[in-house]
Structure 1
Amino acid sequence: MTAVDEHGMAKFFAGFEPPEGIKAELLRGEIVMMAGPDLVHNLIVEDVQDQIPRKRWVRLQTQDVDIVDEASEPVPDLVVLDRQANPGSGRLLPSQLITLVVEVVSKTSVDRDYVTKRSIYAAGRVPAYLIVDPVVGQCVLLTSPVGKGDDADYRSQRLSKFGESVPLELLGIELDTTDFGTFQGVRPHRYP
């Protein structure tokens, strides 16, 4: 896809209204639409959000993110930024203001969360990306983004099983995963 095509797609996406109950994201020039999430998914997002101190951190669910130099506007399940970041207003939150993004894997988002978004968030220089995976009962914390575009990735990866705490050092907390639920009857995958 050429830069003109990607720019055109981003412009089109800015005015795009998905059907009610459908979440839409722009990921590297492609519009991806998903049905509403499972209850297990929503309970995990709520649990993670509740553990992040509100007085120090802004915790936003389903906030559109602007990734610099990318034809991408992902909508993470949770975005965390310092209260002093002062994002202003508008539909898009600049990725450089974000401290942590959280994606809870759904039954249909495994590849997007582990591969596509990993590269997109690293390209946007988001310092930490937490993948919470109720398909296989694990959390993957990615830190230290490097590279650009499709080659961007995180240098550090830490895997924790549900029930173990996840050290979110950038936030100064240990995330308790004891109460995270899992999907039943879903075929496991081999990521990370």
Structure 2
Amino acid sequence: MEDRPITHPLVAFFEELEVPEGFKAELLRGEIVMMAGPDLVHNRIVLRVLRQIPEQRWDCLQTQDIDLLSETSEPQPDLVVLDRDAGPESGRLLPAGVVMMLVEVVSKSSVERDYGVKRSIYAAGKVPAYLIVDPIMGQCVLLTEPTGSGEDADYTVQRITKFGDPVPLNLLGVELDTSEFQRLPGVRPHSRP
């Protein structure tokens, strides 16, 4: 059974795409982006974030595609947080409207996507909170209060916290401990956010 009718030919092509083992693919504003598997530092950060979000109140999903078809996008964030048991009972795509927070962990090849295009896509999808965890710069960037539409969408509130300091995730009622987040060694710094 289909998740919803496919109206854009690129979406139909993307959904039939066979991705090689060890890679993941995302559709971001009409562009298909393929990535190799993540670094161990990346996976450990995702695990440490996931373990701090109370499962009695929230579902934390990995490898979950998000339905942002108004943006011709089907991103697969590193972590998706939503009210426990919110959304459909089954299906590959989770509607953006039920998501409370999305988490992306930056890699050396994803800096521009995570800070740029995904920031705009998630804001356009009205996702209340977008957390960028950046092991290159040793910081977390929490974005809240989405506004606008299309490529002009953005978050109006940005809070940058260095690794080691807590990140208040007020929407979840959690203070995220970042003291165990590792940095990626030997990667050149960038100038984002």
TM-score (norm 2): 0.95
Gaps of 5+ in 2: 1-6
After TM superposition, which residue ranges in structure 1, 4 or more long, deviate above 3 angstroms? none
Partner of 2:22: 21
Q: Which amino acid aligns with 1:158?
A: R
Q: Which amino acid aligns with 1:9?
A: L
Partner of 2:128: 127
SS of corresponding position for 1:47: helix
C-alpha separation between the residues in 2 aligned to 1:88 and 1:162? 36
C-alpha separation between the residues in 1 aligned to 2:107 and 2:80? 17
* Residues 67, 73 of structure 1: 8 Å contact kept: yes
1:157 aligns to 2:128 (yes or no): no
C-alpha separation between the residues in 2 aligned to 1:86 and 1:117? 21
Q: Count residues with an aligned counterpart.
A: 187
CA deviation after TM superposition for structure 1 residue 17, in Å = 1.6
Partner of 2:38: 37
Fraction of identical pairs, as percent: 67
Q: Which amino acid aligns with 2:13?
A: F
SS of corresponding position for 2:70: coil
Gaps of 5+ in 1: 1-5
* Residues 143, 157 of structure 1: 8 Å contact kept: yes
C-alpha separation between the residues in 1 aligned to 2:69 and 2:125? 6
1:92 aligns to 2:100 (yes or no): no
Q: Which amino acid aligns with 1:60?
A: L
Q: Which amino acid aligns with 2:86?
A: A
* Residues 167, 178 of structure 2: 8 Å contact kept: yes
Partner of 1:3: none
C-alpha separation between the residues in 2 aligned to 1:8 and 1:36? 27
* Residues 124, 150 of structure 2: 8 Å contact kept: yes
CA deviation after TM superposition for structure 1 residue 27, in Å = 0.2
C-alpha separation between the residues in 1 aligned to 2:30 and 2:23? 18
CA deviation after TM superposition for structure 1 residue 87, in Å = 2.5
C-alpha separation between the residues in 2 aligned to 1:88 and 1:68? 20
Q: Which amino acid aligns with 2:18?
A: E
CA deviation after TM superposition for structure 1 residue 68, in Å = 4.5
C-alpha separation between the residues in 2 aligned to 1:102 and 1:7? 27
CA deviation after TM superposition for structure 1 residue 84, in Å = 4.5
* Residues 104, 131 of structure 1: 8 Å contact kept: yes
Partner of 2:3: none
Q: Which amino acid aligns with 2:98?
A: L
* Residues 68, 95 of structure 1: 8 Å contact kept: no
CA deviation after TM superposition for structure 1 residue 11, in Å = 1.1
CA deviation after TM superposition for structure 1 residue 88, in Å = 2.1
The C-alpha deviation readout for 1:133-168, integer Å capped at 9, x for no partner, is: 000100000000000000000000000000000000
Farther off after superposition, 44-53 or 68-77 = 68-77
TM-score (norm 1): 0.95
